[in-house]
Structure 1
Amino acid sequence: MPLTLRKLLFAAVSSLSLAATAHAADKLVIAATPVPHAELLELVKPILAKEGVNLEVKVFTDYVQPSVQTNEKRVDGNFFLHQPYLNEFKKKHRNDIQTVVAKVHVEPFAGYSRRHKTLADLPEGATIALPNDPSNSGRSLVLLAKQGLITLKDPANILATTRDIASNPKKLKFRELEAAMLPRVLDQVDLALINTNYALEAKLNPVNDSLFIEDANSPYANLLVAREDNADSPAIKRLAAALTSPAVKQFIADKYQGAVVPAF
Protein backbone atom coordinates (compact mmCIF):
# COMPACT_ATOMS: atom_id res chain seq x y z
CA MET A 1 0.00 0.00 0.00
CA PRO A 2 1.45 3.42 -0.95
CA LEU A 3 2.61 5.49 1.99
CA THR A 4 0.27 8.41 1.14
CA LEU A 5 -2.81 6.15 1.05
CA ARG A 6 -1.73 4.50 4.29
CA LYS A 7 -1.49 7.93 5.97
CA LEU A 8 -4.92 8.91 4.68
CA LEU A 9 -6.49 5.70 5.98
CA PHE A 10 -4.78 6.12 9.33
CA ALA A 11 -6.04 9.69 9.55
CA ALA A 12 -9.57 8.60 8.66
CA VAL A 13 -9.61 5.81 11.26
CA SER A 14 -8.20 8.16 13.87
CA SER A 15 -10.91 10.73 13.09
CA LEU A 16 -13.64 8.11 13.36
CA SER A 17 -12.20 6.90 16.65
CA LEU A 18 -12.08 10.42 18.04
CA ALA A 19 -15.62 11.10 16.83
CA ALA A 20 -16.87 7.93 18.48
CA THR A 21 -15.11 8.85 21.71
CA ALA A 22 -16.56 12.35 21.62
CA HIS A 23 -20.01 10.97 20.85
CA ALA A 24 -19.83 8.57 23.80
CA ALA A 25 -18.58 11.33 26.07
CA ASP A 26 -21.52 13.50 25.08
CA LYS A 27 -24.24 10.97 25.80
CA LEU A 28 -26.79 12.52 28.13
CA VAL A 29 -29.44 10.59 30.08
CA ILE A 30 -32.25 12.74 31.49
CA ALA A 31 -35.09 11.48 33.71
CA ALA A 32 -38.48 13.07 33.03
CA THR A 33 -42.20 12.67 33.49
CA PRO A 34 -44.13 12.06 30.25
CA VAL A 35 -46.06 15.29 29.57
CA PRO A 36 -44.85 17.85 28.74
CA HIS A 37 -41.31 17.17 29.94
CA ALA A 38 -40.46 14.11 27.87
CA GLU A 39 -42.26 15.65 24.88
CA LEU A 40 -40.06 18.74 25.06
CA LEU A 41 -36.93 16.61 25.42
CA GLU A 42 -37.91 14.54 22.38
CA LEU A 43 -38.46 17.79 20.48
CA VAL A 44 -34.89 18.98 21.06
CA LYS A 45 -33.26 15.57 20.62
CA PRO A 46 -32.56 16.06 16.85
CA ILE A 47 -31.14 19.53 17.52
CA LEU A 48 -28.73 18.13 20.11
CA ALA A 49 -27.76 15.24 17.83
CA LYS A 50 -26.52 17.78 15.27
CA GLU A 51 -24.39 19.30 18.04
CA GLY A 52 -22.86 15.94 18.97
CA VAL A 53 -25.05 15.22 22.01
CA ASN A 54 -26.84 11.87 22.14
CA LEU A 55 -29.85 12.53 24.38
CA GLU A 56 -31.61 9.58 26.02
CA VAL A 57 -34.91 10.31 27.77
CA LYS A 58 -35.75 8.04 30.70
CA VAL A 59 -39.47 8.38 31.45
CA PHE A 60 -40.98 8.01 34.93
CA THR A 61 -44.56 8.39 36.10
CA ASP A 62 -43.80 9.41 39.69
CA TYR A 63 -42.18 12.38 41.42
CA VAL A 64 -39.56 10.46 43.42
CA GLN A 65 -37.45 8.26 41.16
CA PRO A 66 -36.17 11.03 38.82
CA SER A 67 -34.50 12.76 41.79
CA VAL A 68 -33.38 9.53 43.42
CA GLN A 69 -31.74 8.30 40.23
CA THR A 70 -30.05 11.67 39.74
CA ASN A 71 -28.58 11.41 43.24
CA GLU A 72 -27.46 7.84 42.57
CA LYS A 73 -25.79 8.99 39.34
CA ARG A 74 -27.88 6.58 37.30
CA VAL A 75 -28.93 9.55 35.15
CA ASP A 76 -27.22 12.84 34.33
CA GLY A 77 -30.12 15.00 35.41
CA ASN A 78 -33.87 15.39 35.44
CA PHE A 79 -36.65 17.56 34.10
CA PHE A 80 -39.89 17.41 36.08
CA LEU A 81 -39.72 19.38 39.33
CA HIS A 82 -40.08 22.96 40.56
CA GLN A 83 -38.03 24.82 43.18
CA PRO A 84 -40.35 24.30 46.19
CA TYR A 85 -40.40 20.55 45.51
CA LEU A 86 -36.61 20.48 45.15
CA ASN A 87 -36.20 22.39 48.42
CA GLU A 88 -38.34 19.83 50.26
CA PHE A 89 -36.52 16.92 48.62
CA LYS A 90 -33.15 18.34 49.66
CA LYS A 91 -34.31 18.56 53.30
CA LYS A 92 -35.20 14.88 53.30
CA HIS A 93 -32.11 13.64 51.43
CA ARG A 94 -28.85 14.90 52.90
CA ASN A 95 -26.84 13.49 50.01
CA ASP A 96 -28.82 15.47 47.44
CA ILE A 97 -26.54 16.58 44.60
CA GLN A 98 -29.11 18.20 42.31
CA THR A 99 -28.29 21.59 40.82
CA VAL A 100 -30.69 23.83 38.91
CA VAL A 101 -29.53 24.56 35.36
CA ALA A 102 -32.49 26.35 33.74
CA LYS A 103 -36.11 27.42 34.24
CA VAL A 104 -38.16 26.09 31.33
CA HIS A 105 -41.90 26.41 31.87
CA VAL A 106 -44.76 26.84 34.31
CA GLU A 107 -47.64 24.37 34.43
CA PRO A 108 -50.51 26.35 35.98
CA PHE A 109 -52.09 24.23 38.72
CA ALA A 110 -55.84 23.75 38.50
CA GLY A 111 -58.93 22.35 40.22
CA TYR A 112 -61.16 19.87 38.41
CA SER A 113 -64.57 18.33 39.07
CA ARG A 114 -66.80 15.88 37.26
CA ARG A 115 -69.61 16.31 39.78
CA HIS A 116 -69.95 20.09 39.79
CA LYS A 117 -69.89 22.78 37.13
CA THR A 118 -68.96 25.72 39.38
CA LEU A 119 -67.33 26.23 42.76
CA ALA A 120 -70.66 27.56 44.05
CA ASP A 121 -72.10 24.07 43.51
CA LEU A 122 -69.69 22.48 46.01
CA PRO A 123 -71.82 21.15 48.88
CA GLU A 124 -71.03 21.37 52.56
CA GLY A 125 -68.70 18.52 53.51
CA ALA A 126 -67.41 18.13 49.94
CA THR A 127 -64.35 15.91 49.52
CA ILE A 128 -61.27 17.60 48.03
CA ALA A 129 -58.35 15.51 46.75
CA LEU A 130 -54.85 17.01 47.04
CA PRO A 131 -51.33 15.84 46.13
CA ASN A 132 -49.60 14.32 49.16
CA ASP A 133 -46.10 15.76 48.62
CA PRO A 134 -45.56 18.83 50.84
CA SER A 135 -44.81 21.41 48.16
CA ASN A 136 -47.79 20.57 45.95
CA SER A 137 -50.12 20.06 48.90
CA GLY A 138 -49.26 23.57 50.10
CA ARG A 139 -49.65 24.88 46.58
CA SER A 140 -53.16 23.37 46.46
CA LEU A 141 -54.20 24.94 49.75
CA VAL A 142 -52.94 28.39 48.71
CA LEU A 143 -54.94 28.08 45.50
CA LEU A 144 -58.08 26.98 47.40
CA ALA A 145 -57.65 29.99 49.69
CA LYS A 146 -57.46 32.29 46.67
CA GLN A 147 -60.84 30.88 45.56
CA GLY A 148 -62.33 31.80 48.96
CA LEU A 149 -63.02 28.17 49.92
CA ILE A 150 -60.74 28.27 52.99
CA THR A 151 -58.49 30.73 54.76
CA LEU A 152 -54.95 29.98 55.90
CA LYS A 153 -53.10 31.22 58.98
CA ASP A 154 -50.43 32.50 56.60
CA PRO A 155 -51.82 33.01 53.06
CA ALA A 156 -48.29 33.26 51.64
CA ASN A 157 -47.07 29.95 53.09
CA ILE A 158 -46.52 27.72 50.06
CA LEU A 159 -45.77 24.80 52.38
CA ALA A 160 -49.02 25.06 54.31
CA THR A 161 -50.69 21.84 55.47
CA THR A 162 -54.30 21.14 56.38
CA ARG A 163 -53.31 21.97 59.99
CA ASP A 164 -52.67 25.54 58.81
CA ILE A 165 -56.29 26.09 57.73
CA ALA A 166 -57.73 28.95 59.80
CA SER A 167 -61.32 28.65 58.60
CA ASN A 168 -63.24 26.11 56.54
CA PRO A 169 -66.81 27.46 56.14
CA LYS A 170 -68.04 24.54 54.00
CA LYS A 171 -66.45 21.94 56.28
CA LEU A 172 -64.53 20.54 53.33
CA LYS A 173 -62.86 17.15 53.79
CA PHE A 174 -59.39 16.57 52.37
CA ARG A 175 -57.85 13.42 50.90
CA GLU A 176 -54.12 13.52 50.22
CA LEU A 177 -53.01 11.11 47.49
CA GLU A 178 -49.97 10.52 45.30
CA ALA A 179 -50.11 13.14 42.55
CA ALA A 180 -50.26 10.60 39.74
CA MET A 181 -53.42 9.08 41.26
CA LEU A 182 -55.48 12.28 41.28
CA PRO A 183 -56.98 12.09 37.76
CA ARG A 184 -58.11 8.53 38.53
CA VAL A 185 -60.20 9.57 41.55
CA LEU A 186 -62.08 12.43 39.87
CA ASP A 187 -65.28 10.38 39.84
CA GLN A 188 -64.91 9.62 43.56
CA VAL A 189 -64.42 13.16 44.91
CA ASP A 190 -66.07 16.54 44.55
CA LEU A 191 -62.91 18.36 43.51
CA ALA A 192 -59.30 17.40 42.77
CA LEU A 193 -56.25 19.66 42.56
CA ILE A 194 -54.13 18.16 39.79
CA ASN A 195 -50.65 18.94 38.50
CA THR A 196 -50.84 19.91 34.84
CA ASN A 197 -48.54 17.15 33.60
CA TYR A 198 -50.88 14.52 35.05
CA ALA A 199 -53.94 16.41 33.85
CA LEU A 200 -52.61 16.48 30.29
CA GLU A 201 -51.83 12.75 30.42
CA ALA A 202 -55.46 12.18 31.45
CA LYS A 203 -56.67 14.27 28.48
CA LEU A 204 -57.80 17.12 30.74
CA ASN A 205 -57.23 20.61 29.41
CA PRO A 206 -56.30 22.91 32.32
CA VAL A 207 -57.65 25.96 30.52
CA ASN A 208 -60.96 24.51 29.33
CA ASP A 209 -61.76 21.70 31.78
CA SER A 210 -60.86 23.21 35.15
CA LEU A 211 -63.08 25.17 37.53
CA PHE A 212 -60.15 27.44 38.40
CA ILE A 213 -56.48 27.73 37.47
CA GLU A 214 -53.31 29.37 38.73
CA ASP A 215 -52.08 32.46 36.94
CA ALA A 216 -48.67 32.53 35.25
CA ASN A 217 -47.10 34.53 38.11
CA SER A 218 -46.01 31.41 39.90
CA PRO A 219 -42.91 30.32 41.85
CA TYR A 220 -43.40 26.85 40.39
CA ALA A 221 -41.37 27.04 37.20
CA ASN A 222 -40.34 23.54 36.06
CA LEU A 223 -36.58 23.15 36.08
CA LEU A 224 -33.86 21.36 34.18
CA VAL A 225 -31.71 19.89 36.94
CA ALA A 226 -28.29 18.26 36.70
CA ARG A 227 -25.86 16.63 39.11
CA GLU A 228 -23.33 18.92 40.77
CA ASP A 229 -20.48 17.19 38.98
CA ASN A 230 -21.87 17.73 35.47
CA ALA A 231 -23.94 20.91 35.76
CA ASP A 232 -21.31 22.88 33.82
CA SER A 233 -20.67 20.24 31.16
CA PRO A 234 -20.99 21.30 27.49
CA ALA A 235 -23.72 18.69 26.92
CA ILE A 236 -25.92 20.00 29.77
CA LYS A 237 -25.37 23.57 28.61
CA ARG A 238 -26.42 22.63 25.07
CA LEU A 239 -29.56 20.96 26.43
CA ALA A 240 -30.40 24.04 28.54
CA ALA A 241 -29.95 26.29 25.51
CA ALA A 242 -32.17 24.06 23.37
CA LEU A 243 -34.97 23.90 25.98
CA THR A 244 -34.99 27.70 26.33
CA SER A 245 -34.83 28.44 22.61
CA PRO A 246 -37.40 30.44 20.58
CA ALA A 247 -38.39 27.21 18.81
CA VAL A 248 -39.37 25.55 22.09
CA LYS A 249 -41.21 28.68 23.23
CA GLN A 250 -43.26 28.61 20.02
CA PHE A 251 -43.89 24.87 20.35
CA ILE A 252 -45.20 25.34 23.91
CA ALA A 253 -47.53 28.13 22.81
CA ASP A 254 -48.87 26.18 19.81
CA LYS A 255 -49.24 22.75 21.41
CA TYR A 256 -50.40 23.46 24.94
CA GLN A 257 -52.54 26.56 24.37
CA GLY A 258 -51.99 28.09 27.81
CA ALA A 259 -51.91 24.79 29.72
CA VAL A 260 -48.10 25.18 29.80
CA VAL A 261 -46.46 28.61 29.85
CA PRO A 262 -42.79 29.37 29.00
CA ALA A 263 -40.73 30.61 31.96
CA PHE A 264 -37.95 32.15 29.83
Structure 2
Amino acid sequence: MKIKNWLILISSLVVLGGIAVGLHTYNTYKISHAPEQITVGSMGSDYQVWQHIAKSKEARKLNLKITVKQINDGVQLNNATAEHNVNVNAFQSYSYLKSYNHENPKHKLMNLGTTYLEPMGIYSDKYQKLKDIPAGATIAIADNPANTSRGLLLLQDAGLIKLKAGFDALGNTDDVVSNPRNLKFKKIDDTTGPRILNSVDAALISNTVALEGKLNVMKDSLYHEKINQSTRQNINILAAAADISDRNKKDYQKLVTLYHDPAIQKYIKDTYDGTKIEVKKPVSYLK
Protein backbone atom coordinates (compact mmCIF):
# COMPACT_ATOMS: atom_id res chain seq x y z
CA MET A 1 0.00 0.00 0.00
CA LYS A 2 2.78 2.41 0.82
CA ILE A 3 4.47 1.82 -2.50
CA LYS A 4 1.17 2.28 -4.30
CA ASN A 5 0.50 5.55 -2.45
CA TRP A 6 3.94 6.85 -3.35
CA LEU A 7 3.38 6.01 -7.00
CA ILE A 8 0.05 7.86 -6.94
CA LEU A 9 1.73 10.89 -5.30
CA ILE A 10 4.56 10.94 -7.82
CA SER A 11 2.11 10.64 -10.72
CA SER A 12 0.08 13.54 -9.35
CA LEU A 13 3.17 15.74 -9.03
CA VAL A 14 4.19 14.96 -12.60
CA VAL A 15 0.74 15.92 -13.86
CA LEU A 16 0.69 19.14 -11.83
CA GLY A 17 4.19 19.95 -13.02
CA GLY A 18 3.10 19.46 -16.62
CA ILE A 19 0.13 21.75 -16.10
CA ALA A 20 2.37 24.41 -14.53
CA VAL A 21 4.84 24.25 -17.43
CA GLY A 22 1.95 24.47 -19.87
CA LEU A 23 0.53 27.55 -18.14
CA HIS A 24 3.97 29.19 -18.06
CA THR A 25 4.44 28.49 -21.78
CA TYR A 26 0.97 29.85 -22.53
CA ASN A 27 1.56 33.02 -20.50
CA THR A 28 4.99 33.53 -22.06
CA TYR A 29 3.41 33.15 -25.50
CA LYS A 30 0.73 35.70 -24.62
CA ILE A 31 3.23 38.23 -23.31
CA SER A 32 5.69 37.85 -26.20
CA HIS A 33 2.89 38.18 -28.75
CA ALA A 34 1.02 41.05 -27.07
CA PRO A 35 0.96 44.19 -29.22
CA GLU A 36 3.71 46.72 -28.52
CA GLN A 37 1.96 49.71 -26.93
CA ILE A 38 3.53 53.00 -27.96
CA THR A 39 2.33 56.55 -27.33
CA VAL A 40 3.15 58.90 -30.20
CA GLY A 41 3.00 62.65 -29.59
CA SER A 42 2.35 64.93 -32.54
CA MET A 43 0.69 68.09 -33.83
CA GLY A 44 -0.85 69.63 -36.94
CA SER A 45 -0.98 67.49 -40.08
CA ASP A 46 1.44 64.98 -38.51
CA TYR A 47 -1.14 64.32 -35.80
CA GLN A 48 -3.67 63.46 -38.50
CA VAL A 49 -1.16 61.19 -40.26
CA TRP A 50 -0.42 59.24 -37.08
CA GLN A 51 -4.09 58.92 -36.21
CA HIS A 52 -4.50 57.19 -39.58
CA ILE A 53 -1.40 55.04 -39.02
CA ALA A 54 -2.59 53.98 -35.54
CA LYS A 55 -5.83 52.60 -36.99
CA SER A 56 -4.21 50.98 -40.03
CA LYS A 57 -3.98 47.28 -40.79
CA GLU A 58 -0.28 47.87 -41.44
CA ALA A 59 0.16 48.72 -37.72
CA ARG A 60 -1.66 45.52 -36.78
CA LYS A 61 0.61 43.51 -39.09
CA LEU A 62 3.63 44.81 -37.15
CA ASN A 63 1.85 43.98 -33.88
CA LEU A 64 1.79 47.62 -32.76
CA LYS A 65 -0.86 49.29 -30.63
CA ILE A 66 -0.43 53.04 -31.07
CA THR A 67 -2.01 55.81 -29.02
CA VAL A 68 -1.67 59.29 -30.53
CA LYS A 69 -1.45 62.31 -28.22
CA GLN A 70 -1.77 65.89 -29.48
CA ILE A 71 0.50 68.58 -27.98
CA ASN A 72 0.49 71.80 -30.00
CA ASP A 73 3.80 73.22 -28.84
CA GLY A 74 7.15 71.86 -30.00
CA VAL A 75 9.10 72.53 -26.79
CA GLN A 76 6.32 71.08 -24.61
CA LEU A 77 6.13 68.01 -26.84
CA ASN A 78 9.88 67.47 -26.67
CA ASN A 79 9.79 67.95 -22.89
CA ALA A 80 7.02 65.36 -22.61
CA THR A 81 9.12 62.95 -24.67
CA ALA A 82 12.28 63.55 -22.63
CA GLU A 83 10.27 62.91 -19.45
CA HIS A 84 8.79 59.68 -20.91
CA ASN A 85 5.21 60.96 -20.84
CA VAL A 86 5.31 60.35 -24.60
CA ASN A 87 7.33 57.45 -26.04
CA VAL A 88 7.99 58.87 -29.51
CA ASN A 89 7.21 62.18 -31.16
CA ALA A 90 6.56 62.97 -34.79
CA PHE A 91 6.65 66.62 -35.77
CA GLN A 92 10.19 67.98 -35.93
CA SER A 93 13.13 68.32 -38.28
CA TYR A 94 16.57 67.06 -37.34
CA SER A 95 17.79 70.66 -37.00
CA TYR A 96 14.95 71.37 -34.54
CA LEU A 97 16.03 68.36 -32.47
CA LYS A 98 19.65 69.55 -32.49
CA SER A 99 18.56 72.99 -31.32
CA TYR A 100 16.43 71.49 -28.55
CA ASN A 101 19.29 69.27 -27.37
CA HIS A 102 21.65 72.24 -27.35
CA GLU A 103 19.26 74.17 -25.08
CA ASN A 104 18.34 71.14 -22.92
CA PRO A 105 21.59 69.21 -22.33
CA LYS A 106 20.15 67.25 -19.37
CA HIS A 107 17.04 66.09 -21.24
CA LYS A 108 18.31 65.13 -24.69
CA LEU A 109 16.38 63.34 -27.40
CA MET A 110 17.58 60.84 -30.00
CA ASN A 111 16.78 60.46 -33.68
CA LEU A 112 15.07 57.13 -34.43
CA GLY A 113 14.86 57.54 -38.21
CA THR A 114 13.89 59.78 -41.11
CA THR A 115 10.35 60.31 -42.38
CA TYR A 116 10.00 63.14 -44.91
CA LEU A 117 10.99 66.60 -46.06
CA GLU A 118 8.17 69.08 -45.79
CA PRO A 119 9.60 71.98 -47.82
CA MET A 120 9.73 75.43 -46.32
CA GLY A 121 8.66 78.04 -48.84
CA ILE A 122 9.00 81.74 -49.61
CA TYR A 123 5.52 83.21 -50.01
CA SER A 124 4.22 86.63 -50.99
CA ASP A 125 0.83 88.24 -51.57
CA LYS A 126 2.48 91.20 -53.30
CA TYR A 127 4.91 89.63 -55.77
CA GLN A 128 4.69 86.75 -58.24
CA LYS A 129 8.41 86.05 -58.69
CA LEU A 130 11.56 86.25 -56.57
CA LYS A 131 13.12 88.80 -58.91
CA ASP A 132 10.23 91.18 -58.19
CA ILE A 133 11.06 91.46 -54.48
CA PRO A 134 12.46 95.00 -54.19
CA ALA A 135 15.43 96.46 -52.34
CA GLY A 136 14.62 97.14 -48.70
CA ALA A 137 11.81 94.55 -48.67
CA THR A 138 10.68 93.15 -45.30
CA ILE A 139 10.91 89.38 -44.98
CA ALA A 140 9.11 87.59 -42.12
CA ILE A 141 11.22 84.84 -40.54
CA ALA A 142 10.44 82.43 -37.70
CA ASP A 143 11.59 83.48 -34.24
CA ASN A 144 13.10 80.16 -33.11
CA PRO A 145 16.67 78.95 -33.68
CA ALA A 146 15.91 75.95 -35.90
CA ASN A 147 13.53 77.69 -38.30
CA THR A 148 15.52 80.94 -38.29
CA SER A 149 18.59 79.13 -39.63
CA ARG A 150 16.47 77.06 -41.99
CA GLY A 151 14.83 80.16 -43.45
CA LEU A 152 18.17 81.90 -43.94
CA LEU A 153 19.56 78.86 -45.76
CA LEU A 154 16.51 78.94 -48.03
CA LEU A 155 17.07 82.63 -48.81
CA GLN A 156 20.70 81.84 -49.62
CA ASP A 157 19.69 78.93 -51.86
CA ALA A 158 17.31 81.32 -53.64
CA GLY A 159 20.22 83.70 -54.29
CA LEU A 160 18.89 86.56 -52.13
CA ILE A 161 21.60 86.57 -49.42
CA LYS A 162 24.92 84.94 -48.57
CA LEU A 163 25.79 83.40 -45.20
CA LYS A 164 29.16 83.02 -43.51
CA ALA A 165 31.12 79.81 -44.03
CA GLY A 166 30.23 77.09 -41.57
CA PHE A 167 26.70 78.40 -40.99
CA ASP A 168 24.71 75.72 -39.14
CA ALA A 169 21.44 74.95 -37.36
CA LEU A 170 22.24 77.45 -34.60
CA GLY A 171 22.95 80.34 -36.99
CA ASN A 172 20.96 83.59 -37.15
CA THR A 173 20.64 86.87 -39.05
CA ASP A 174 23.97 88.08 -37.63
CA ASP A 175 25.59 85.50 -39.90
CA VAL A 176 24.44 87.20 -43.13
CA VAL A 177 27.61 88.40 -44.87
CA SER A 178 26.05 89.64 -48.11
CA ASN A 179 22.61 91.23 -48.52
CA PRO A 180 22.61 93.02 -51.90
CA ARG A 181 18.89 93.92 -51.73
CA ASN A 182 19.22 95.20 -48.16
CA LEU A 183 16.41 92.92 -47.01
CA LYS A 184 14.91 93.61 -43.58
CA PHE A 185 14.06 90.68 -41.33
CA LYS A 186 10.96 90.66 -39.17
CA LYS A 187 10.87 87.84 -36.62
CA ILE A 188 7.48 86.26 -36.09
CA ASP A 189 5.90 83.39 -34.18
CA ASP A 190 6.07 80.21 -36.28
CA THR A 191 2.31 79.75 -36.25
CA THR A 192 1.55 83.20 -37.66
CA GLY A 193 2.36 82.08 -41.18
CA PRO A 194 -0.13 83.13 -43.87
CA ARG A 195 -1.78 85.70 -41.59
CA ILE A 196 1.31 87.92 -41.79
CA LEU A 197 1.47 88.04 -45.61
CA ASN A 198 -0.58 91.22 -45.97
CA SER A 199 1.82 93.19 -43.76
CA VAL A 200 5.21 92.11 -45.19
CA ASP A 201 6.73 91.77 -48.63
CA ALA A 202 7.39 88.05 -48.24
CA ALA A 203 7.41 85.40 -45.53
CA LEU A 204 9.26 82.17 -44.87
CA ILE A 205 6.61 79.62 -43.88
CA SER A 206 6.97 75.98 -42.86
CA ASN A 207 4.73 73.60 -44.76
CA THR A 208 2.78 72.49 -41.68
CA VAL A 209 1.69 76.08 -41.10
CA ALA A 210 1.20 76.68 -44.84
CA LEU A 211 -1.17 73.70 -45.08
CA GLU A 212 -3.21 75.05 -42.19
CA GLY A 213 -3.49 78.31 -44.16
CA LYS A 214 -4.63 76.42 -47.30
CA LEU A 215 -1.32 76.96 -49.10
CA ASN A 216 0.43 74.28 -51.13
CA VAL A 217 4.19 74.78 -51.07
CA MET A 218 4.65 73.08 -54.44
CA LYS A 219 2.16 75.41 -56.16
CA ASP A 220 1.83 78.61 -54.12
CA SER A 221 5.37 79.48 -53.02
CA LEU A 222 7.77 81.68 -54.98
CA TYR A 223 10.57 79.27 -54.08
CA HIS A 224 10.87 76.20 -51.88
CA GLU A 225 13.38 73.73 -50.51
CA LYS A 226 14.63 70.80 -52.54
CA ILE A 227 16.18 67.59 -51.19
CA ASN A 228 19.92 68.21 -51.29
CA GLN A 229 22.93 68.54 -49.02
CA SER A 230 21.91 71.99 -47.80
CA THR A 231 18.48 70.78 -46.65
CA ARG A 232 19.36 67.36 -45.24
CA GLN A 233 19.14 68.57 -41.63
CA ASN A 234 15.63 69.87 -42.32
CA ILE A 235 14.36 66.35 -42.94
CA ASN A 236 11.74 65.31 -40.41
CA ILE A 237 12.39 62.50 -38.00
CA LEU A 238 10.87 60.38 -35.25
CA ALA A 239 12.40 61.17 -31.87
CA ALA A 240 12.55 59.51 -28.44
CA ALA A 241 14.28 60.20 -25.13
CA ALA A 242 18.03 59.64 -25.42
CA ASP A 243 18.08 57.45 -22.30
CA ILE A 244 15.67 54.75 -23.52
CA SER A 245 16.79 51.12 -23.34
CA ASP A 246 18.07 49.26 -26.41
CA ARG A 247 14.94 47.10 -26.29
CA ASN A 248 12.65 50.13 -26.36
CA LYS A 249 14.71 51.69 -29.13
CA LYS A 250 14.25 48.54 -31.22
CA ASP A 251 10.49 48.57 -30.54
CA TYR A 252 10.13 52.28 -31.35
CA GLN A 253 12.09 51.94 -34.59
CA LYS A 254 9.28 49.74 -35.86
CA LEU A 255 7.39 53.02 -36.30
CA VAL A 256 9.96 54.10 -38.89
CA THR A 257 9.34 50.92 -40.86
CA LEU A 258 5.60 51.44 -40.50
CA TYR A 259 5.77 55.03 -41.73
CA HIS A 260 7.50 53.94 -44.95
CA ASP A 261 5.01 51.18 -45.74
CA PRO A 262 3.76 51.71 -49.33
CA ALA A 263 0.09 51.81 -48.28
CA ILE A 264 0.82 54.48 -45.65
CA GLN A 265 2.82 56.50 -48.16
CA LYS A 266 -0.02 56.39 -50.67
CA TYR A 267 -2.40 57.79 -48.04
CA ILE A 268 0.02 60.62 -47.18
CA LYS A 269 0.66 61.53 -50.82
CA ASP A 270 -3.04 61.53 -51.71
CA THR A 271 -4.08 63.46 -48.59
CA TYR A 272 -1.39 66.16 -48.66
CA ASP A 273 -1.04 66.59 -52.40
CA GLY A 274 2.63 65.63 -52.52
CA THR A 275 3.81 68.24 -49.99
CA LYS A 276 5.31 65.64 -47.64
CA ILE A 277 8.19 64.19 -49.65
CA GLU A 278 9.24 60.77 -48.36
CA VAL A 279 12.87 60.48 -47.27
CA LYS A 280 14.06 56.99 -46.43
CA LYS A 281 17.67 57.51 -45.40
CA PRO A 282 19.95 56.15 -42.64
CA VAL A 283 20.35 58.32 -39.55
CA SER A 284 23.98 58.95 -40.56
CA TYR A 285 22.79 60.84 -43.67
CA LEU A 286 21.65 63.78 -41.53
CA LYS A 287 24.93 64.31 -39.70
Q: What's the TM-score bracket when you normalise by the shorter of the two chains?
A: 0.7 to 0.9
Matches within 5 A, 1:113-124: 113-124=124-135
Name the counterpart of 2:255. Answer: 239
1:72 partnered with 2:87 = no
Mapped contact 1:112–1:211 kept (Cα < 8 A): yes
Gaps of at least 5 residues in structure 2 are: 1-18, 281-287
Name the counterpart of 2:52. Answer: 43
Mapped contact 1:252–1:262 kept (Cα < 8 A): no
Deviations 1:213-254 (A, max 9, x none): 111223121101122325643642332221122222333333
Name the counterpart of 1:193. Answer: 204
Structure 1 residues 232 and 210: CA distance shift in structure 2, 3 A:
farther
How many angstroms apart in 2 are the aligned matches of 1:91 and 1:156?
Answer: 16
Name the counterpart of 1:222. Answer: 236
Deviations 1:166-219 (A, max 9, x none): 122222111112211222212211111111111112111001100001112231
Name the counterpart of 1:171. Answer: 182
Mapped contact 1:48–1:238 kept (Cα < 8 A): no
How many angstroms apart in 2 are the aligned matches of 1:64 and 1:169?
Answer: 35
1:34 partnered with 2:49 = no
Structure 1 residues 231 and 173: CA distance shift in structure 2, 3 A:
farther
Q: How far does residue 69 in structure 1 lie from its aligned partner after superposition? A: 0.7
Mapped contact 2:124–2:202 kept (Cα < 8 A): yes
Gaps of at least 5 residues in structure 1 are: 1-6
1:62 partnered with 2:73 = yes
Q: How far does residue 50 in structure 1 lie from its aligned partner after superposition? A: 5.3
Structure 1 residues 205 and 72: CA distance shift in structure 2, 3 A:
same
Matches within 5 A, 1:102-121: 102-121=113-132
Name the counterpart of 1:213. Answer: 224
CA RMSD of superposed structures (Å): 2.6
How many angstroms apart in 2 are the aligned matches of 1:118 and 1:262?
Answer: 27
Q: Which amino acid aligns with 1:40?
A: V
Q: How far does residue 163 in structure 1 lie from its aligned partner after superposition? A: 0.8
Mapped contact 2:136–2:184 kept (Cα < 8 A): yes
Taking structure 2 as the reference length, the TM-score comes to 0.78
Q: How far does residue 31 in structure 1 lie from its aligned partner after superposition? A: 1.1
Q: How far does residue 87 in structure 1 lie from its aligned partner after superposition? A: 1.2
How many angstroms apart in 1 are the aligned matches of 2:109 and 2:168?
Answer: 24
Q: How far does residue 164 in structure 1 lie from its aligned partner after superposition? A: 1.1
How many angstroms apart in 1 are the aligned matches of 2:139 and 2:268?
Answer: 30
Mapped contact 2:99–2:169 kept (Cα < 8 A): no
Give the paired residue count.
250
Deviations 1:123-158 (A, max 9, x none): 222111111121221111111122222222227544
Matches within 5 A, 1:115-154: 115-154=126-165
Structure 1 residues 232 and 211: CA distance shift in structure 2, 3 A:
farther
Q: Tell me the secondary structure at the aligned position of residue 208 of structure 1.
A: helix
Mapped contact 1:139–1:159 kept (Cα < 8 A): no
Taking structure 1 as the reference length, the TM-score comes to 0.84
Deviations 1:55-91 (A, max 9, x none): 1111233321111111122111201112221111111
Mapped contact 1:62–1:180 kept (Cα < 8 A): no
Q: Which amino acid aligns with 2:266?
A: Q
How many angstroms apart in 2 are the aligned matches of 1:156 and 1:99?
Answer: 23
How many angstroms apart in 2 are the aligned matches of 1:60 and 1:199?
Answer: 19
Name the counterpart of 1:254. Answer: 270
How many angstroms apart in 2 are the aligned matches of 1:183 and 1:51?
Answer: 39
How many angstroms apart in 2 are the aligned matches of 1:94 and 1:160?
Answer: 18
